[in-house]
Amino acid sequence: MHSQQLSCLVDTQNQPDHREVAIDRVGVTNLRFPIQIRDKAHSSQNTVATVSLTVDLPHQFKGTHMSRFIEVLNEHGSVIHVDNIKVILQHLQKRLNSRQAHVEFEFPFFMEKCAPITGAVGLMNYSVKMAATAAHEDIYFTVTVVVPVTTLCPCSKAISRYGAHNQRSQVTFAVRFNTPIWIEDLIQLVESAASSELYSLLKRPDEKAVTERAYEHPVFVEDLVRNVAVMANEDARIDWYRVEAENYESIHNHNAYAMIEKG
């Protein structure tokens, strides 16, 4: 009886649409979902992702079945890694009869960091996005890390009798790769390109060391993206990258920006 009642319900989404306009992406966004991410130091860590799941919609269909996106996500549990995302994409294509499928998982990622002198341990958080597209049989996978760093101005250091202006900067580093790369490795690559990395916990000896290191390693925003690019070019695992840096200037009412893309 129950199945008979369901079979009588009108499937509006499958009805024809006479405007003949295909939709590139349709689906669900801003879905909060607990996930488990592979962690280099501790094998895994639990976090919460903001998820987007979309597919293309041919011109002849009126709508898509939104519930199927949630079903596919729930069927694969909370463990997210490269292979898992590939399977989710393939299931989206199959369940929604689509040629293309897209997924995005954006989440905070935490790393334990020791202060440079005292060794005091604190947690740093970084924003990470895993995005993938399946087009027919091909799958394109991109990992993006957003890394805050310190930059100290070479010009200010060169022209000033003492001191130099510095600021917090944000680097957005997106990569496509042929061999899986740890999120931590991408973060550390970016941090090594700056005047200094950031820490959540610093005692006075640590603060002295960080300040002096920044003064000894001045970089323009142009230097910052070039430093990242040089290291990315030398990493055989990376096929494509885009590195963006934005300096939140401490003596100007504007920001400084630079970007390099390879591929």
As a whole number, mean pLDDT of residues 65-76 equals: 90
Q: What is the SS3 assignment for 162?
A: coil
Query: Residue 34's pLDDT is what?
Result: 92
3-state secondary structure of 111: strand
pLDDT(1) > 50: no
What does the mean pLDDT of the chain come to?
91
The pLDDT tens digits for 229-263 are 999 999 999 999 999 999 999 999 999 999 999 97
Mean pLDDT of 192-204: 98
* Residue 213: pLDDT over 90: yes
Distant-in-sequence, close-in-space partners of 130: CB < 8 Å, separation ≥ 6: 80, 85, 103, 104, 105, 106, 141, 142, 143, 144
For the beta carbon of residue 33, count every other beta carbon within 10 angstroms.
Answer: 16
- Comparing CA positions, the residue from 152, 169, 52 lying closest to residue 102 is 52
Residue ranges of domains in the chain: 13-262
Q: 161-194 in b/e burial notation, b at 16+ Cβ within 10 A?
A: eeebebbebbbbbbbbbeeebebeebbebbbebb
Mean pLDDT of 190-198: 98
Per-residue tokens: 19: 């405007």
What does the alpha-carbon distance between residue 60 and residue 27 come to, in Å, rounded to a whole number? 17
3-state helix, strand, coil in the chain (%, to 5): 30, 45, 30
Mean pLDDT of 119-138: 95
For residue range 17-50, list pLDDT tens digits in order: 667 788 889 999 999 999 999 888 888 899 999 9
pLDDT in tens, 2-11: 555 555 665 5
Q: Give the CATH fold of the 13-262 domain.
A: Urate Oxidase (3.10.270)
- Decide: helix, strand or coil at residue 31: strand
Q: Is the per-residue pLDDT at 70 higher than 60?
A: yes
Whether 250 contacts 256, CB under 8 Å: no
- With a cut of 90, say whether residue 106 has pLDDT above it: yes
Half-sphere exposure of 88 (CA within 13 A, CB side): 31
Four-residue CA torsion sign, 246, 249, 255, 259: negative
**Mean pLDDT in residue range 134-155:** 95
In DSSP notation, 219-258 reads --HHHHHHHHHHHHHT-TTEEEEEEEEEE--SSSSS-EEE
Mind listing the pLDDT tens digit for each residue in 156-169?
Answer: 999 999 999 999 99
